[in-house]
Amino acid sequence: MKPHCDALIIGGGLAGLATALRLAAAGLRVTVVAKTALTEGASLYAQGGIAAALGEGDSVEAHIQDTMRAGAGLCRAEAVRFVAGRAAECIRWLSDSGVRFTVAGGDEFHLSREGGHSHRRILHSADATGRAVATTLEDHARRHPNIRLREHCIAVDLITTARLGISGAARCIGAYVHDRAAAETFPMGAGVVALATGGASKAYLYTSNPDTSTGDGIAMAWRAGCRIANMEFVQFHPTCLYHPRAKTYLISEAVRGEGGRLLLPDGGAFMQRHDPRGELAPRDIVARAIDYEMKRGGHDCVYLDLSHRSAGFIRRHFPNITRRCREFNYDLTREPIPVVPAAHYTCGGIVTDLHGATDIPGLYAIGECASTGLHGANRLASNSLLECIVFAAAAAAHITRAVPKAAGMALPAWDESRVTDPDEQIVVAHNWDELRRFMWGYVGIVRTVKRLHRARRRIRLLRREISEHYGNFRVNNDLIELRNLVLVADLIVTGALRRRESRGLHYNLDYPAALSRARDTVLRLSG
């Protein structure tokens, strides 16, 4: 039997670590479960920064309006105000924790600008903000006596009182966890569980996300009975480096914020034809424009050009991007670089309130796996890291006020009495590849009803096959991730079919207009 803890945090990125540190500071015993080495998730690769209205002439109200505008009428005003109003406080917490943001001179933060923002308000640490924040918090977590870290472990499913047949109000009391190195699955009990597992962009063939982004928390919450909302809104980052070995390396939106221009292979600019804001239009507009121009011209990519700025400026502001481009023989200081859109961010997720609490008492969701109402139909650039920090603080405060310490209920062991070792792994590998390819082709930047129905039929076949495999063989990391990813793909397609309009990130050629009233797509396990 593994020891109980007061709080079990599933996910070792920014949302998970920030929540763990807040809870540990309040005296709770916290266990953090991470699928790989700590912080080896999407947070680490976030380049742009964190949005906060700190600059001259800027205001919280302007940040709110920009967020609402980008969200295409689907943001919850209460959530947007909640997050934007707490941005300055959270920046202070990060700065006090030792995060070194880039300064413009003296004690003033350097603020960059990104698409959809009316002001310069992006705090950053050069062009590797996620790495600076995640590694700083990781260092604190490793040294905190109240935090226990379990790396290279993946959660399989949540444990609730309903799952155990315990009468009374349902409550989350832990999770089954698979230790990848030991090939062992066991229960971990907790007073509360917080899902901080990130998004599900690995459902797509091309993505800026690391391999860990397989929708685990969303899938586990769905199976436990939580509502899931707005999964059809998948954000495709407009500019990822196009190279067969680059694995769709993200080129920060800040490059366009500092004057980067998008060009066709013949050198012609095109963004003004699609939006008067040009390269600084919100991501959904830029991604669709690139997709349109690539299909219209039969191009494999478009080009991003910052070479009109001085080489010193480019190296100073984008040292990591410049270095990475040179690894692939591209010189950002002298020439346009090839870029393509790639799946980047899951705007929908587990429905929560402003404390991060889900439908199940004792279960919280924080960060990209959650649907808080902040992003609506399209996430405004650099609001994601901010959301992680704000809701980590809100969830930790709610947990410490309302949740007693773990009582140590005995939990049943993981049952492997009727399964065997997998006879072959090719089934999992083949299904994984098939899923990602047809999701890219049928449920991508531009959709049709016919394509969505094709995807649904393929998904339902895969789900049956994977369910049979899961029921007969011992679990391993690849099978757990595939089981989660195919479920989340089903939720994305279901949401897309229910939305009979085009709004934000969801563009359907059969329903090109937006409805007069914006409504969330809320899915329930019961239908």
How do residues 157-215 score in pLDDT, each as one tens digit?
A: 999 998 888 887 789 999 999 999 899 999 999 999 999 999 999 999 888 888 889 99
Same fold? 5-46+132-232+347-402, 236-344: no
Domain ranges for the chain, please list them: 5-46+132-232+347-402, 236-344, 426-511
Q: Could you name the CATH architecture of 426-511?
A: Up-down Bundle (1.20)
Task: Show the beta-strand stretches assigned E in 30-75.
Answer: 30-33, 50-51
Residue 268 tokens read as: 């012609």
Rounded to 5°, angle at Cα 215 from 183 and 365: 100
Query: What is the residue-level pLDDT of the chain in tens, covering all 527 positions?
Result: 456 899 999 999 999 999 999 999 999 999 999 998 876 766 766 667 899 999 999 999 999 999 999 999 999 999 999 999 999 999 999 999 999 998 887 778 899 888 889 999 999 888 788 888 999 999 999 999 999 999 999 999 999 998 888 887 789 999 999 999 899 999 999 999 999 999 999 999 888 888 889 999 999 999 999 999 999 999 998 999 998 777 778 898 889 989 999 999 999 999 999 999 999 888 888 999 999 999 899 998 999 999 999 999 999 999 989 999 999 999 999 999 999 999 999 999 999 999 999 999 999 999 999 999 999 999 998 999 999 999 999 999 999 987 665 556 789 989 887 778 776 677 788 898 999 999 998 999 999 999 999 999 999 999 999 998 888 888 999 999 999 999 999 999 999 999 999 999 999 999 999 999 999 999 998 75
Q: Which long-range contacts (CB under 8 A, 24 or more apart) does 430-433 make?
A: 431/462, 431/465, 431/466, 431/482, 431/486, 432/478, 432/482, 432/485
List for the chain the helix, strand, coil content (%; round to 5): 40, 20, 45
Instruction: Report helix, strand or coil for 332.
Output: coil
Task: Supply the pTM of this predicted model.
Answer: 0.91
Burial label for 273, CB within 10 Å (0-12, 13-18, 19+), is exposed
Residue 158 dihedral angles phi and psi, to the nearest 5°: -80, 150
- Write the CA distances from 248 to 292, 368, 417, 486, integer angstroms: 19, 20, 42, 22
Was domain 5-46+132-232+347-402 assigned CATH 3.40.50.720? no
CB half-sphere exposure, 412, CA atoms < 13 A: 11
Element (H, E) at 426: helix 426-442
CATH fold of 236-344 reads Flavocytochrome C3; Chain A, domain 1 (3.90.700)
User: Could you give the CA distance from residue 502 to residue 515 in angstroms, rounded to a whole number?
Assistant: 8
- Please give the angle made by the CA atoms of 468, 474 and 480, to the nearest 5 degrees: 70
The residues annotated as belonging to the active site are 283
Question: In sequence order, what are the beta bridge partners of 148?
Answer: 31
Please list, in sequence order, all residues whose beta carbon lies within 8 angstroms of the beta carbon of residue 204, skipping any fewer than 6 positions away. 234, 342, 343, 436, 439, 440, 444
Q: How long is the chain?
A: 527
**CA distance linking residue 441 with residue 186, whole number of Å:** 38
Cα 485 to Cα 313: distance, rounded to the nearest angstrom: 41
